[in-house]
């Protein structure tokens, strides 16, 4: 495979500046070569490598090893292999500091080649050092070779070749290091807060054209891949930290943390009225509820609605049309709403005499003991039949043990099916007949 070269010095500097701003500590983690070997091929009387360990003495980046080309017969090479402490991840950039004596006016390194290796196996990506891969530091006298290897490597070989009388006679090698070749992801918000059990969306993106995916994990390294994509939507059941990184041929090695802090929901309110209330048409109805710790109570017309119809412990209103009305009371504390308690208001077609229509007598509550449903079979695996009375056309409401409504339907027959409920256990069934009679029972759903 052939190495992909950086297109221009200007773009390299722009990318480097962006990375330092976005990731001042993690992106610039440079891994330096820390050991070396060197050698000479061909017949040469005075070829040598001076101070070879200076190229891997990373406490001083200003000293250097020098490849010296002497009097030679035929083709001769002097080389140094710079070895890293560990292999690259397949996407790392490679930087080699080089130099030549004097102040060359033109590129003097045309007789220099670089090639990466993985162990003792060459990656067959040898390239001659030309202006496209050079970043001048002090003109051509000191420069850096900038490469982006397309394969995993753990060493790089720098070779000076004798190519006639005009060839370079000495090459200085200051250092070699590798660093991540991808841009890290940009997180729009790394500190998020929400209510326990709420749905929340995390967002990260990358401007790096190499990036093909944004990956979300549950750990800073290793761990489980939770999602791939810019927008990660999840249910925040507890405070947790998620980790995101960008991916091309490999992943950016450092993941960005995104913390989601959850606020516990307050307890559900305590209803001051039965969960089913009966009223005459045109009556004034008052629904009441209380909450712990002086929390605020909101009244809604649906279990998932976001706009309250009233805020306060006592909700008073006039019922104008017959039928069944549904209200839900929720407690708010620290911006979080509790599970909601349902109240069903069944409005009769009859009206009370004008003299009797008052707040004290308008609401007629059903006796606490409701007629019992006769259910068969019980326990059940989903299918239920009612015996003793034909309840087809009635409204059936199923709630779990926490009082949360999990199913509602108009009965098309004298029975129903609850097999779509996901969790086995006890459920409470309330059937509101067409004559406004209410029947209740409970059933054990088995799996």
Domain ranges of the chain: 4-180, 186-263, 270-364, 375-445
Say which CATH topology domain 270-364 has. Immunoglobulin-like (2.60.40)
Q: 186-263 has which fold?
A: Immunoglobulin-like (2.60.40)
Give the tokens for residue 387.
């015996």
pLDDT of residue 373: 85
Q: What is the pLDDT of residue 163?
A: 66
CATH number at 375-445: 2.60.40
* Mean per-residue pLDDT, 161-190: 86
Each residue's pLDDT tens digit, 128-145: 999 999 999 999 999 999
Q: Which residues contact 210 (CB under 8 A, 6 or more apart)?
A: 91, 181, 182, 183, 248
Q: Residue 274 pLDDT > 50, yes or no?
A: yes
Of 2.60.40.420, 2.60.120.260, 3.30.2290.10, 1.25.40.10, the CATH number of 4-180 is 2.60.120.260
Please tell me the distance from the alpha carbon of residue 10 to that of residue 82, in angstroms, as a whole number: 27
Instruction: Please tell me the pTM assigned to this model.
Output: 0.52
Residues 58-85: what's their mean pLDDT?
92
Is residue 70 pLDDT above 90, yes or no? no
- Show the CA angle centred on residue 322, arms to residues 318 and 324, nearest 5°: 90
- Tell me the pLDDT tens digit for each residue of 85-113: 999 876 788 999 999 988 888 999 999 99
Identify the pLDDT of residue 249.
76
Going across the sheet that includes 438-445, the strands are: 405-410, 395-399, 425-432, 438-445
Question: What pLDDT was estimated at residue 166?
Answer: 57
What percent of the chain shows pLDDT beyond 70? 88
**High-pLDDT (> 90) share of the chain, %:** 53
User: 156 CB contacts (<8 Å, ≥6 apart)?
Assistant: 33, 81, 82, 94, 96, 114, 115, 116, 117, 176
Whether the pLDDT of residue 28 is over 50: the answer is no
Same CATH fold, 375-445 and 186-263?
yes
Highest-pLDDT range among 60-74, 118-132, 372-386, 394-408: 118-132
Strands ordered across the beta sheet of 186-187 = 186-187, 198-205, 231-236
């Amino acid at each position: 495979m052939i190495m992909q070269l950086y297109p221009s010095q200007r773009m390299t500097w722009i990318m480097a500046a962006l990375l330092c701003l976005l990731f001042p500590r993690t992106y610039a983690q440079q891994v330096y070569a820390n050991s070396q070997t060197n050698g000479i091929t061909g017949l040469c009387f005075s070829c040598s490598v001076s101070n070879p360990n200076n190229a891997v003495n990373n406490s001083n980046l200003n000293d250097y090893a020098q490849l010296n080309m002497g009097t030679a017969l035929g083709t001769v090479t002097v080389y140094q292999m710079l070895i890293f402490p560990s292999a690259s991840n397949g996407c790392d950039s490679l930087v080699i500091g080089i130099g030549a004596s004097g102040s060359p006016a033109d590129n003097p390194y045309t007789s220099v080649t670089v090639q990466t290796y993985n162990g003792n196996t060459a990656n067959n990506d040898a390239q001659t050092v030309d202006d496209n891969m050079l970043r001048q530091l002090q003109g051509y006298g000191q420069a850096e070779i900038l490469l982006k290897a397309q394969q995993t490597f753990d060493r790089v070989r720098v070779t000076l070749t004798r190519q006639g009388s005009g060839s370079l006679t000495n090459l200085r090698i200051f250092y070699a290091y590798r660093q991540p070749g991808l841009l890290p992801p940009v997180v729009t918000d790394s500190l998020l807060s929400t209510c326990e059990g709420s749905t929340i969306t995390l967002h990260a993106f990358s401007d790096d054209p190499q990036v093909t995916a944004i990956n979300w994990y549950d750990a800073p390294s290793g761990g489980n891949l939770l999602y791939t994509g810019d927008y990660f939507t999840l249910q925040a059941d507890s405070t947790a930290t998620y980790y995101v990184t960008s991916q091309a041929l490999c992943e950016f090695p450092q993941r960005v943390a995104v913390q989601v802090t959850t606020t516990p929901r307050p307890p559900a309110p305590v209803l001051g009225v039965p969960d089913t209330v009966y009223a005459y048409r045109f009556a004034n109805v008052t629904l009441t509820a209380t909450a712990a710790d002086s929390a605020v109570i909101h009244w809604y017309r649906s279990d998932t609605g976001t706009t309250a119809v009233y805020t306060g412990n006592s909700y008073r209103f006039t019922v104008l049309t017959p039928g069944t009305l549904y209200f839900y009371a929720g407690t708010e504390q620290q911006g979080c709403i509790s599970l909601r308690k349902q109240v069903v208001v069944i409005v009769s077609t009859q009206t009370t005499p004008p003299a009797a229509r008052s707040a004290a007598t308008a609401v007629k509550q059903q006796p606490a003991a409701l007629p019992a449903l006769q259910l068969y079979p019980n326990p059940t695996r989903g299918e239920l039949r009612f015996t003793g009375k034909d309840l087809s056309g009635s409204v059936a409401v199923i709630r779990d043990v926490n009082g949360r409504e999990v199913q509602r339907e108009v009965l098309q027959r004298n029975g129903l099916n609850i097999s779509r409920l996901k969790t086995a256990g006890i459920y409470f069934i309330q059937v509101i007949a067409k004559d406004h009679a209410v029947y209740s029972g409970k059933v054990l759903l088995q799996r």
